[in-house]
């Protein structure tokens, strides 16, 4: 445990530190220095009390009283300053100066927090302390609410700015006749205006939407006319195609749709080409009719086929049907002529065929006779050769029989001769 002398030394040092911080406060108010001076003064007082140093205790308590009195005086000053900042924040907010409003309310809140800290950390009277803590807590909460309100207003202002930007873009697109894009963009503006309950913005957006929708309806009508024109074009009804295309072009021109106007102009060129092709096909068909009436069916058929090819190319159903009918009539007439000419031709061909067959039959008959004669001669020759071979064999057999007879006679002679010789030998014995 520290000795009395050491504690007094520490108490004197602490008192001097408290006094120095208090002097700084008297020169320039600093609540940090207030807090430090008060903390050191109270600590010095407690140290003097520990060693029963009455003079030191009274000296330190007197400094504590001076600091607290000074704090109370400056508390009122600080409270007034905080209230002034709060009022300035309100005024700035009313004039839509959100940056200054934020700065002032943050200053006010900072001072209310300082006052709360002063009361909580420096005030010793519990009853007075509790009431003041309650007051400053409410002021801090009130400042936080104001800050939230400013932030909400700033956010709404940012949203309104974005909504106005979308609205301006939509209006610009509308003026440039870009109604589809304008319709998309204005919905963004309406959504943002609605999110912040900006009824003026919602109202003007709704008005622009009505204008855009009216133009879009006209575009839809013009598109319908264009599609009808295209449909009639596909079946070569160029009169109706031209009628509806002109209606479409008129609407597109009135609402400033230059791209679609150019599209209709380009399509009109196709219609003009189609009209020319139809006229050409009609000319061929007229020539085909004239040739048919003059019984020139081959020429009529050729002209009708030319007409049909063109009609088919432009998909003109009536023209195709008429051309097909004329082609069938021409082909029927040509077949009739070919059939009448074919009967005489068939008779001649039949006669020629009969003559040719007779000649061929006579030649084949003669050939057959020569073949049979040749065959007979060959058979006779074979028979003759066979007879000769038979006769030759007969003579050879007769000669062979004769030789056999001669050999038999010779054998008999030899036998008889041997018998005689045997008898002679026997007789000699």
Cβ neighbours around 242 below 10 Å, total: 18
Q: What is the dihedral of CA 109, 110, 111, 117, to 10 degrees?
A: 110
Instruction: State how far the Cα of 262 lies from the Cα of 265, in Å rounded to an integer.
Output: 5
Position 56 scores a pLDDT of: 93
Position 351 scores a pLDDT of: 60
Instruction: State how far the Cα of 254 lies from the Cα of 411, in Å rounded to an integer.
Output: 155
Mapping DSSP to helix (H, G, I), strand (E, B) and coil, where does residue 355 land?
helix
Instruction: State how far the Cα of 20 lies from the Cα of 295, in Å rounded to an integer.
Output: 138
Task: Look up residue 95 and give its DSSP letter.
Answer: T
CB burial class (10 A; 0-12, 13-18, 19+) of residue 216?
Answer: middle
Q: What is the pTM of this model?
A: 0.56
Instruction: State how far the Cα of 166 lies from the Cα of 184, in Å rounded to an integer.
Output: 10
Position 208 scores a pLDDT of: 96
Q: Does residue 106 carry a pLDDT above 70?
A: yes
The larger pLDDT score, comparing residue 67 to residue 368, is at 67
Position 379 scores a pLDDT of: 76
Dihedral sign computed on CA atoms, order 354, 357, 361, 362: positive
Joined tokens for residue 200: 């003026």
Q: Does residue 296 carry a pLDDT above 80?
A: yes
Q: Does residue 29 carry a pLDDT above 80?
A: no
Joined tokens for residue 74: 């400056």
**pLDDT per residue as tens digits for the range 119-157:** 777 676 777 878 888 998 999 999 999 999 999 999 999
**pLDDT per residue as tens digits for the range 344-370:** 565 565 666 766 677 776 667 777 777
Instruction: State how far the Cα of 304 lies from the Cα of 390, in Å rounded to an integer.
Output: 90
Position 274 scores a pLDDT of: 93
CB burial class (10 A; 0-12, 13-18, 19+) of residue 258?
Answer: exposed
Q: Does residue 67 carry a pLDDT above 70?
A: yes
**pLDDT per residue as tens digits for the range 167-190:** 999 999 999 999 999 999 999 999
Position 343 scores a pLDDT of: 58
Instruction: State how far the Cα of 74 lies from the Cα of 25, in Å rounded to an integer.
Output: 10
SS3 of the chain: helix, strand, coil, percent, to 5: 90, 0, 10
C-alpha of 376 from chain center: 97
Rg (CA), the chain: 71
Neighbouring residues of 314: CB distance < 8 A, sequence distance ≥ 6: 236, 274, 277, 278, 281
Joined tokens for residue 287: 């020539």
Instruction: State how far the Cα of 424 lies from the Cα of 79, in Å rounded to an integer.
Output: 207
Task: Look up residue 176 and give its DSSP letter.
Answer: T
Mean pLDDT of 397-406: 73
C-alpha of 369 from chain center: 92
Task: Look up residue 13 and give its DSSP letter.
Answer: H
Instruction: State how far the Cα of 208 lies from the Cα of 368, in Å rounded to an integer.
Output: 112
The larger pLDDT score, comparing residue 298 to residue 343, is at 298
Query: What mean pLDDT is reported for the chain?
Result: 87
Joined tokens for residue 120: 């909580």
Q: Does residue 429 carry a pLDDT above 60?
A: no
Task: Look up residue 28 and give its DSSP letter.
Answer: S
Instruction: State how far the Cα of 282 lies from the Cα of 406, in Å rounded to an integer.
Output: 123
C-beta of residue 277 within 8 angstroms of C-beta of residue 314: yes
Region of 315 (left: φ > 0; alpha: ψ -120 to 50; beta: rest) is left
Domain chopping of the chain, boundaries: 4-160
**Beta strand extents in 25-156 (DSSP E only):** none
Cα angle vertex 255, ends 252, 259, to 5°?
50
């Amino acid at each position: 445990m520290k000795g009395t002398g050491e504690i007094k030394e520490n108490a004197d040092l602490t008192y001097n530190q408290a006094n120095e911080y208090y002097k700084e406060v008297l020169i320039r108010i600093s609540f940090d220095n207030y807090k430090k001076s008060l903390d050191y003064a109270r600590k010095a007082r407690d140290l003097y009390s520990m060693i029963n140093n009455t003079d030191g205790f009274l000296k330190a308590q007197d400094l504590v009283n001076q600091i607290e009195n000074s704090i109370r005086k400056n508390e009122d000053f600080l409270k007034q300053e905080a209230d002034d900042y709060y009022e300035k924040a309100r005024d700035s907010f009313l004039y839509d100066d959100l940056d200054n409003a934020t700065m002032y309310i943050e200053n006010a809140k900072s001072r209310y927090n300082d006052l709360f800290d002063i009361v909580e950390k420096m005030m010793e009277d519990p009853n007075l302390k509790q009431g003041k803590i309650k007051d400053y807590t409410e002021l801090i909460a009130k400042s936080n609410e104001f800050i939230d309100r400013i932030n909400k207003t700033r956010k709404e202002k940012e949203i309104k700015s974005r909504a106005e930007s979308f609205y301006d873009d939509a209006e610009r697109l509308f003026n440039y006749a870009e109604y589809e894009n304008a319709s998309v963009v204005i919905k963004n503006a309406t959504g943002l205006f609605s999110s912040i309950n900006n009824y003026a913005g919602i109202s003007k957006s709704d008005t622009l939407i009505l204008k855009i929708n009216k133009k879009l309806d006209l575009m839809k009508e013009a598109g319908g006319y264009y599609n009808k024109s295209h449909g009639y074009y596909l079946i070569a009804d160029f009169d109706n195609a031209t009628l509806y295309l002109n209606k479409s072009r008129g609407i597109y021109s009135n609402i400033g749709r230059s791209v679609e106007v150019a599209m209709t102009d380009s399509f009109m060129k196709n219609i003009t080409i189609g009209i020319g092709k139809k006229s050409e096909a009609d000319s061929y068909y007229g020539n085909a009719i004239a040739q048919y009436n003059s019984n020139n069916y081959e020429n009529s058929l050729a002209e009708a086929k030319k007409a049909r090819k063109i009609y088919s190319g432009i998909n003109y159903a009536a023209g195709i049907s008429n051309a097909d009918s004329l082609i069938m009539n021409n082909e029927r007439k040509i077949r009739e002529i070919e059939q009448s000419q074919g009967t005489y031709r068939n008779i001649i061909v039949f006669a020629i065929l009969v003559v040719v067959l007779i000649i061929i039959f006579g030649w084949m008959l003669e050939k057959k006779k020569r073949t049979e004669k040749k065959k007979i001669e060959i058979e006779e020759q074979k028979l003759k050769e066979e007879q000769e071979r038979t006769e030759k064999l007969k003579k050879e057999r007769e000669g062979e029989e004769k030789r056999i007879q001669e050999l038999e006679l010779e054998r008999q002679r030899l036998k008889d001769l041997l018998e005689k010789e045997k008898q002679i030998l026997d007789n000699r014995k």
